[in-house]
Structure 1
Amino acid sequence: MHVRPTAILGLLACLTPMFPAQAEEPALNVLWIIGEDLGPELGCYGTPEARTPNLDRLAAEGVRFTHAFTATPVCSTSRSGFMTGMYPVTIGAHNHRSHRADGHALPEGVRLLTDWLRPAGYFTANLRDLTGEASERFFRGTGKTDWNFHYDGAPFDGSRWSELAAHQPFYAQVNFAETHRGAAWNSAHERIATPADPARVVFPPYYPDHPLVRADWAQYLNAVMALDRKVGFLLDELEADGLVESTVVIFFGDHGRAMVRGKQWPYDSGLHVPLIIRWPAGVTPPEGFEPGTVDERLVSILDVAATTLAFCGLAKPAKMQGRVLFGPAAEPARRYVFGSRDRGDETVLSIRTVRDARYRYLRNAMPERPFLQLNRYKEWSYPVLGLMRRLYAQGALDPVQARLLAPHRPAEELYDLDADPYETRNLAESGAHAETLARLRAALDDWLETADDQGRAPEPPEVAAHWEARMEQNYGPRLRERELAAGPALLQGTMAGEVTAESAILQTRLTGQGLGFDGDIPGAPGVACFEIARSAEFTRAV
Structure 2
Amino acid sequence: MLRGLLSVFLILLSCGSLLAAEKPNFVWIMSEDNSSHFLKLFDPTGAPTPNIDALADQGLVYEHAFSNAPVCSVARTTLITSCYAPRIGTFHHRRSFMVPMPEGVKMFPAYLREAGYYTTNNSKEDYNAKKSDDVWDDSSRKASWKNRKADQPFFHVQTFTTTHESSLHFPAKDIQDKPTKTDPETVFVPPHHPKTETFKYTYARYHDRIQDVDQQVGQLVDQLRKEGLLETTFIFYFGDHGGVLPRGKGYAYETGLHIPLVIRVPEKFRDQMPEKIGSRIQSFVSFIDFGPTVLKLAGAKIPEGIDGHAFLALGDAQLMETDESLGYADRFDEKYDMVRTLRKGKYRYVRNFQPFNFDGLMNNYRYKMVAYREWRELYDAGKLNEVQAQFFKARPAEMLFDVEADPYETKNLAGDPQHAQALAELRGRLNTILTGMPDLGFYPESFLAANAAENPVAFGQQHKDEIAKLLETANLEILAFDEARPQLEEALDSADPWQRYWGVIACSSHGKSALPLGKQLESMAMTDPENLVRVRAAEFLALHADVDPAAVLSKAIADAETATEANLILNTAVLLQDGQPGYEFNFKHSDFKHLKGNRGELDRRLEYLIGK
Could you tell me the TM-score, scaled by structure 1's length?
A: 0.76
**What's the counterpart of residue 372 of structure 2?**
385
Match of 1:405 among 392, 416, 435: 392
Residues 118 and 145 in structure 2, CA contact (< 8 A), matched pair in contact too: no
**What's the counterpart of residue 179 of structure 1?**
163
Describe the SS at the equivalent of 2:194: coil
Instruction: Please give the residue correspondences for 1:97-496 in structure 2 after superposition, counting only pairs within 5 Å.
Output: 97-98=94-95, 100=97, 102=98, 104-127=99-122, 143-153=123-133, 155-158=135-138, 159-163=143-147, 166=150, 168-182=152-166, 195-327=181-313, 328-380=316-368, 382-406=369-393, 408-460=394-446
Higher relative contact order (CA 8 A, sep 6+): 1
Describe the SS at the equivalent of 1:376: coil
Cα deviation per residue 1:84-128 (whole Å; 9 max; x = unaligned)? Answer: 11111121111112155x5x201112211111111110100012x
Cα deviation per residue 1:482-538 (whole Å; 9 max; x = unaligned)? Answer: xxxxxxxxxxxxxxx958635548x99xxx9xxxxx9xx999x954599xxxxxxxx
Cα deviation per residue 1:398-438 (whole Å; 9 max; x = unaligned)? Answer: 110011111x2211111111221110011111111111110
For 2:56 and 2:111, locate their aligned partners in 1 and report how far apart those are by CA, in whole Å: 28
For 1:197 and 1:161, locate their aligned partners in 2 and report how far apart those are by CA, in whole Å: 39
Residue 393 of structure 1, CA deviation: 2.1
Describe the SS at the equivalent of 1:199: helix
Residue 443 of structure 1, CA deviation: 0.6
Residue 39 of structure 1, CA deviation: 0.7
* Percent of pairs with identical residues: 33
Unpaired stretches in structure 2, ≥5 consecutive residues: 1-15, 451-541, 554-566, 568-572, 585-612
Residue 320 of structure 1, CA deviation: 2.2
CA, structure 1 residues 529+210, in 2 after alignment: closer, same or farther (shift >3 Å)? farther
For 2:424 and 2:45, locate their aligned partners in 1 and report how far apart those are by CA, in whole Å: 38
Describe the SS at the equivalent of 2:87: coil
What amino acid does structure 1 have at the position aligned with 2:111?
A: W
For 2:288 and 2:224, locate their aligned partners in 1 and report how far apart those are by CA, in whole Å: 26
Cα deviation per residue 1:276-320 (whole Å; 9 max; x = unaligned)? Answer: 111111234444232111111111122111110011012422222
Residues 179 and 185 in structure 1, CA contact (< 8 A), matched pair in contact too: no
Describe the SS at the equivalent of 2:65: strand
What amino acid does structure 2 have at the position aligned with 1:352?
A: R
Describe the SS at the equivalent of 2:236: strand
Residues 145 and 154 in structure 2, CA contact (< 8 A), matched pair in contact too: no
**What's the counterpart of residue 44 of structure 1?**
41
For 2:168 and 2:226, locate their aligned partners in 1 and report how far apart those are by CA, in whole Å: 27
What amino acid does structure 2 have at the position aligned with 1:398?
A: N
What amino acid does structure 2 have at the position aligned with 1:83?
A: I
Cα deviation per residue 1:326-377 (whole Å; 9 max; x = unaligned)? Answer: 2355422113211111111111111111011110111111112122112111
What amino acid does structure 1 have at the position aligned with 2:54?
A: R
For 1:302 and 1:119, locate their aligned partners in 2 and report how far apart those are by CA, in whole Å: 20
CA, structure 1 residues 253+459, in 2 after alignment: closer, same or farther (shift >3 Å)? same
Residues 401 and 411 in structure 2, CA contact (< 8 A), matched pair in contact too: yes
Residues 208 and 397 in structure 1, CA contact (< 8 A), matched pair in contact too: yes
Question: Is 2:72 aligned against 1:72?
Answer: no
Residue 397 of structure 1, CA deviation: 0.7
Describe the SS at the equivalent of 1:360: strand
Residue 223 of structure 1, CA deviation: 0.9
Q: Which has the higher helix share?
A: 2
What amino acid does structure 1 have at the position aligned with 2:83?
A: M
RMSD: 3.3
Residue 234 of structure 1, CA deviation: 0.4
- Structure possessing the higher radius of gyration over alpha carbons: 2
Could you tell me the TM-score, scaled by structure 2's length?
A: 0.68
Residues 257 and 263 in structure 1, CA contact (< 8 A), matched pair in contact too: yes
Instruction: Please give the residue correspondences for 1:490-509 in structure 2 after superposition, counting only pairs within 5 Å.
Output: 501-504=546-549
For 1:522 and 1:347, locate their aligned partners in 2 and report how far apart those are by CA, in whole Å: 14
Residue 453 of structure 1, CA deviation: 1.5
CA, structure 1 residues 165+315, in 2 after alignment: closer, same or farther (shift >3 Å)? closer
Residues 178 and 184 in structure 1, CA contact (< 8 A), matched pair in contact too: no
Describe the SS at the equivalent of 2:259: strand
For 1:295 and 1:318, locate their aligned partners in 2 and report how far apart those are by CA, in whole Å: 27
Residue 51 of structure 1, CA deviation: 2.1
Which deviates further from its counterpart, 20-29 or 282-291? 20-29
